[in-house]
């Protein structure tokens, strides 16, 4: 056993920290749910792309450096610690599309997309969920019909969060309605400017914009089909494996904010921190934070040993999202009436970060796979329990 | 970064699993915990031949010169089997105290006897308050011309009736000193406590128990510092033992829910049952990483008090939750004494108290944070 980073990994962490400090250090926290955040975040991603940091783990022949997943992990952890979101749908191109194309894409697709993804000239919006296909993704209905050199796509997607600014749609559609539901789905890369696509904005509890997306006879060239026809569900599930790098940098910031507030705020002549019940709750959070961080490192270590995590990623998803809710709960209980104040209000604590956390926490255990689904995965894939009917 | 055991540690664990599978089944545990000693002396000697008691003891003193991490790796296995034997108290408490605080003479006198399985050690620390606090130590040591006399009462002394030696914490005025005391010395009265788990525990009453000068362990009046060092290791080693226990409960629970059929299908196919099992898994994973990091840090001589206190909180929570949820999915059969589950349910409770309960360890973490320790 060894729980240290190598000298090179530590040096890279310093470098990454320097980068993010220069980008956001000292500035008020950027609210990821505010639309003004999108261009700022995209500019930062482009600068990461210029350094080659979005694609370090890619093979050399595709512009990467064959770096161990540990480096990507360190980068994302430092990003979250700096206060920038490390997810939120940003860089779907680098996180999901690129690795999938490297494995299954045609030469033409690789030549066209990979350099643009690497430099963050383009990004993709995930196009999976539909009104009738949420957790049961395989029952999606959006239909693609072959017509000469094209597919003609019609149907509706839901909660496709970055569709209003991403250049491409990473779209799962049904290409064989007669096949068993998992075996009739294909993946496409669709130009969002294609005629026939319309968006209806929807706003989440956090204020974040998401979209209902309508396809009306949208014509997509066959060259934009990913891999083999009808294997899309398989590609989409394996693509998620590339996404299994979690970190708890944001949680560390949340806990830090709670502690700082408790140690500097007096009520009835007494610091909030001096309440033993709060101290114990914070101590438990600190223990969990440390333990979760180690589990995150463990997955990064496994991946660097070419062991693809399966159920471990699901359990980490559940634990980190539920932990986020616990932290929010502690913070909100501690704040009392000040907890109801939102960013921009007079007297708002933490520049609105607490209220923002409360709103985002509602999403945490649902987006990216609801906790119930993740627990099913742990039980069936991890423990080998039989699937229910 | 490396989360794996070395090949040697894996071999040690495999040998332990084989030995325990052959020798430590439920019938054996049921029989042994009813005996006065609480362990099988023949088996204790065999364990010494396997090198268990001497695992952490240097070769010059008859041990195999392993480190703390090796010992934790072994305890994970004994925790799986609920091995009823004073292995923990002899190695983690006794040998550790002598390794950390003993003089050369004390080390060469006592360590070889631990390694050979000739001596059973334990620690006589807790008193009436039942807390791991310096102020709670009231047993007094008085200076005499030949050494000291000890008077007072110790509680919850593991294997206090069958041990050969006690590491005893005593108060001299305002400070604490440690002594290596013959457990059968004149003036000590042993009263067994009826404990819910397999580990035998005693009340020991000391009435003017004479202890010679050369049995002072570590520096006089600096005993509490040594106690804290031992407790830090004990908390982490206990976490490793608990990890083994909870993992084993998970294993036999999964096996059961795959086989048990109700409503025409295995109960493991019901989501309510699956989610209980998933919750067990997550609790164990959370406790596992931090336990091994703490053990690794200790074995490397790095500061680990924060990690130890964090690990114990999470291990307590995980073991208690694991056994409670395992009971829930086992239903009636798990409530019957013929079934092993109740032994783990009991063990989880007593382990949660050992070397600091959840609140004690939370307070330690909170105190570190208050003193400015970084949470990241």
Any idea which residue has 């296995």 for tokens?
A: B77
In this prediction, residue A343 carries a pLDDT of 87
| Over residues B254-258, mean pLDDT | 98
Tell me the three state secondary structure of residue A346: coil
What's CA B201's distance to the chain center, in Å?
Answer: 13
CA distance A6 to A244: 22
Is B2 close to A385, i.e. CB distance below 8 A?
no
CB B285 within 8 A of CB A313: no
CB A162 within 8 A of CB A89: yes
* Helix and strand numbers, DSSP H then E, in chain B: 12, 10
Closest of B219, B200, B239 to residue B319, by C-alpha = B239
Sign of CA dihedral B150, B156, B161, B166: negative
Name residues 281-300 of chain A within 8 A of B (Cβ): 282-284, 286-295, 297-298, 300
Using a CB-CB cut-off of 8 Å, the residues of chain B touching A1 are 2-6, 69, 292, 295-296
Tell me the angle at which helices B7-23 and B68-81 cross, rounded to the nearest 10 degrees.
Answer: 30
Name residues 53-72 of chain B within 8 A of A (Cβ): 69
Per the document, the length of chain A is 389
Q: Token pair for residue A52?
A: 């080659």
Tens digits of per-residue pLDDT, B75-118? Answer: 999 999 999 999 999 999 999 999 999 999 999 999 999 999 99
In this prediction, residue A206 carries a pLDDT of 80
In this prediction, residue A28 carries a pLDDT of 57
CB A251 within 8 A of CB A323: yes
Q: Bin B356: left if φ > 0, else alpha if -120 < ψ < 50, else beta.
A: left
At residue B142, does pLDDT exceed 90? yes
Using a CB-CB cut-off of 8 Å, the residues of chain B touching A295 are 285-286, 289
Nearest to A290 among B3, B270, B310 (CB): B310
Q: Bin A387: left if φ > 0, else alpha if -120 < ψ < 50, else beta.
A: beta
Percent of chain B clearing pLDDT 90 (strictly above): 99
Closest of B80, B82, B95, B70 to residue B12, by C-alpha = B70
CB of B326 within 8 Å of a chain A CB? The answer is no
At residue A30, does pLDDT exceed 60? no
Tens digits of per-residue pLDDT, B262-290? Answer: 999 999 999 999 999 999 999 999 999 99
Using a CB-CB cut-off of 8 Å, the residues of chain A touching B301 are none
CB A212 within 8 A of CB A156: yes
Using a CB-CB cut-off of 8 Å, the residues of chain B touching A256 are 375-376
Q: Could you tell me which residues come within 8 angstroms of residue A147 by beta carbon, excluding any fewer than 6 positions away? A: A219
Compute the count of residue pairs across chains A and B with CB atoms less than 8 Å apart.
162
Is B310 close to A279, i.e. CB distance below 8 A?
no
Using a CB-CB cut-off of 8 Å, the residues of chain B touching A284 are 313, 362
DSSP per-residue codes, A15-69: HHHHHHHHHHTTSPPP-TTSTTHHHHHHHHHHHHHHTTTTSTTS-GGGT-----H
CB of B256 within 8 Å of a chain A CB? The answer is no
CA distance B116 to A147: 82
Binning pLDDT at 50, 70 and 90, where does residue A239 land? confident
Closest of A45, A74, A70 to residue A57, by C-alpha = A70
Task: For chain A, give the mean pLDDT.
Answer: 93
Q: Token pair for residue B151?
A: 């008077």
Q: Could you tell me which residues come within 8 angstroms of residue A141 by beta carbon, excluding any fewer than 6 positions away? A: A130, A132, A133, A155, A174
CB A154 within 8 A of CB A190: no
Q: In sequence order, which ranges of B119-262 are alpha helices (DSSP H)? A: 223-259
CB A355 within 8 A of CB A341: yes
Binning pLDDT at 50, 70 and 90, where does residue A33 land? low
| Over residues A283-310, mean pLDDT | 93
Residue to mutate among B310, B326, B376, with most A CBs inside 10 A, is B376
In this prediction, residue A32 carries a pLDDT of 62
Name residues 322-351 of chain A within 8 A of B (Cβ): none
B165-172 and B175-182 as β-strands: parallel, antiparallel, unpaired? antiparallel
CB A95 within 8 A of CB A63: no
Q: What is the DSSP letter of B160?
A: T
Using the CB atoms, write b or e for A19-28: b if 16+ within 10 Å.
Answer: bbeebbeeee
Tens digits of per-residue pLDDT, B221-253? Answer: 999 999 999 999 999 999 999 999 999 999 999
Using a CB-CB cut-off of 8 Å, the residues of chain A touching B297 are 3
Nearest to A291 among B278, B289, B296 (CB): B289
Is A300 close to B275, i.e. CB distance below 8 A?
no
What are the residue boundaries of the structural domains of chain B, listed by start? 7-119, 122-221, 224-370
CB of B185 within 8 Å of a chain A CB? The answer is no
Nearest to A379 among B277, B286, B365 (CB): B277
At residue A29, does pLDDT exceed 60? no
| Over residues B179-192, mean pLDDT | 98
DSSP per-residue codes, A218-258: EEEEGGGEESSTTBHHHHHHHHHHHT-----HHHHHHHHHH
At residue A90, does pLDDT exceed 60? yes
Other Cβ atoms less than 10 A from the Cβ of B145: the count is: 5
CB of B313 within 8 Å of a chain A CB? The answer is yes
CATH class of B7-119: mainly alpha
CB of B140 within 8 Å of a chain A CB? The answer is no
Is B314 close to A282, i.e. CB distance below 8 A?
no
> Per the CATH hierarchy, to which homologous superfamily does domain B122-221 belong?
Butyryl-CoA Dehydrogenase, subunit A, domain 2 (2.40.110.10)
Catalytic residue among A23, A167, A243, A351: A243
Is A375 close to B309, i.e. CB distance below 8 A?
no
Any idea which residue has 């593991």 for tokens?
A: B158
Q: Token pair for residue A303?
A: 């991946």
CATH class of B224-370: mainly alpha
Is B274 close to A312, i.e. CB distance below 8 A?
no
Fold match flag (B7-119 vs B122-221): no
Tens digits of per-residue pLDDT, B313-352? Answer: 999 999 999 999 999 999 999 999 999 999 999 999 999 9
Using a CB-CB cut-off of 8 Å, the residues of chain B touching A287 are 290, 309-311, 313-314, 362, 365
Helix (H) or strand (E) holding B166: strand B165-172
Residues in a beta bridge with A225: A188
CB B264 within 8 A of CB A388: no
CB A301 within 8 A of CB A225: no
Is A312 among the catalytic positions? no
CB of B366 within 8 Å of a chain A CB? The answer is yes
In this prediction, residue A86 carries a pLDDT of 58
């Amino acid at each position: 056993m060894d729980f240290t980073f190598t000298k090179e990994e530590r040096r890279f962490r310093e470098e990454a920290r320097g980068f993010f400090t220069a980008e956001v250090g000292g500035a008020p926290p950027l609210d990821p749910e505010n639309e003004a955040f999108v261009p700022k975040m995209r500019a930062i991603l482009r600068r990461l792309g210029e350094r080659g940091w979005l694609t370090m783990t890619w093979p050399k022949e595709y512009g990467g450096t064959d770096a161990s997943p540990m480096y990507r992990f360190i980068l994302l952890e430092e990003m979250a610690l700096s206060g920038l979101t490390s997810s939120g749908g940003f860089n779907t191109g680098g996180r999901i599309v690129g690795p999938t194309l490297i494995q299954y894409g045609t030469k033409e697709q690789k030549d066209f997309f990979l350099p643009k993804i690497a430099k963050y000239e383009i990004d993709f919006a995930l196009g999976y969920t539909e009104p009738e296909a949420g957790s049961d993704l395989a029952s999606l209905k959006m239909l693609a019909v072959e017509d000469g050199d094209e597919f003609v796509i019609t149907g509706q997607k839901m909660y496709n969060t970055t569709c209003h600014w991403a250049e491409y749609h990473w779209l799962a559609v049904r290409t064989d309605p007669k096949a068993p539901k998992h075996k009739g789905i294909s993946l496409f890369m669709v130009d969002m400017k294609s005629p026939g696509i319309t968006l209806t904005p929807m706003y989440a509890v956090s204020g974040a914009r998401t979209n209902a997306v309508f396809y009306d006879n949208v014509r997509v060239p066959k060259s934009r089909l990913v891999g083999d026809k009808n294997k899309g569900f398989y590609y989409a599930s394996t693509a998620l494996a590339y996404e299994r790098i979690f970190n708890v940098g944001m949680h560390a910031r949340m806990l830090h904010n709670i502690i700082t507030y408790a140690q500097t705020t007096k009520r009835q002549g007494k610091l909030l921190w001096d309440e033993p019940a709060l101290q114990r709750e914070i101590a438990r959070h600190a223990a969990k934070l440390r333990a979760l961080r180690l589990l995150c490192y463990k997955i990064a270590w496994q991946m660097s040993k070419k062991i693809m995590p399966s159920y471990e990623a699901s359990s980490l998803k559940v634990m980190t999202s539920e932990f986020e809710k616990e932290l929010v709960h502690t913070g909100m209980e501690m704040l009392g009436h000040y907890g109801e104040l939102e960013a921009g209000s007079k007297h708002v604590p933490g520049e609105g970060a607490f209220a923002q956390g409360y709103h985002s926490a509602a999403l945490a255990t649902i987006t990216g796979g609801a906790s119930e689904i993740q627990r099913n995965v742990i039980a069936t894939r991890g423990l080998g329990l039989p699937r229910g009917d | 970064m490396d989360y794996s055991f070395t090949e040697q540690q894996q071999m040690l664990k495999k040998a332990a699993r084989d030995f325990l599978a052959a020798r430590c089944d439920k019938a054996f545990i049921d029989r042994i915990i009813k005996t006065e000693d609480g362990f099988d002396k023949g088996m204790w000697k065999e364990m010494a031949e396997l090198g268990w008691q001497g695992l952490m003891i240097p070769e010059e003193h008859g041990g195999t010169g392993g480190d703390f991490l090796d010992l934790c790796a072994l305890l994970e296995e004994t925790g799986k089997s609920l091995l009823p034997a004073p292995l923990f108290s002899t190695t983690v408490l006794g040998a550790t105290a002598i390794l950390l605080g003993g003089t050369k003479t004390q080390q060469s006198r006592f360590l070889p006897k631990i390694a050979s399985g000739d001596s059973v050690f334990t620690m006589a620390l807790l008193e009436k308050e039942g807390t791991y606090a310096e102020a709670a130590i009231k047993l007094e040591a008085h200076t005499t011309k030949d050494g000291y006399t000890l008077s007072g009462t110790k509680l919850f002394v593991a294997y206090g009736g069958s041990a050969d030696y006690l590491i005893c914490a005593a108060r001299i005025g305002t400070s604490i000193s440690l002594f290596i005391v013959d457990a059968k010395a004149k003036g000590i009265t042993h009263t067994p406590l009826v404990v819910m788990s397999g580990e035998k525990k005693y009340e020991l009453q000391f009435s003017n128990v004479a202890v010679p000068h050369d049995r002072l362990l570590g520096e006089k009046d600096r005993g509490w510092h040594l106690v804290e060092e031992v407790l830090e290791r004990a908390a982490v080693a206990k976490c490793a033992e608990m990890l083994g226990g909870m993992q084993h409960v998970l294993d036999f629970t999964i096996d059961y829910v795959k086989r048990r059929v109700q409503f025409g299908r295995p109960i493991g196919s019901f989501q309510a049952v699956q989610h209980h099992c998933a919750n067990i898994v997550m609790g164990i994973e959370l406790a596992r990483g931090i336990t091994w990091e703490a053990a690794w840090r200790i074995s490397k001589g790095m500061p680990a008090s924060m990690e130890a206190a964090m690990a114990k909180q999470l291990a307590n929570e995980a073991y208690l939750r694991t056994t409670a949820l395992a009971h829930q999915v086992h239903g009636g059969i798990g409530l019957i004494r013929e079934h092993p589950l109740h032994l783990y349910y009991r063990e989880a409770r007593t382990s949660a108290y050992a070397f600091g309960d959840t609140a004690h360890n939370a307070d330690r973490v909170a105190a570190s944070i208050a003193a400015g320790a970084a949470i990241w």
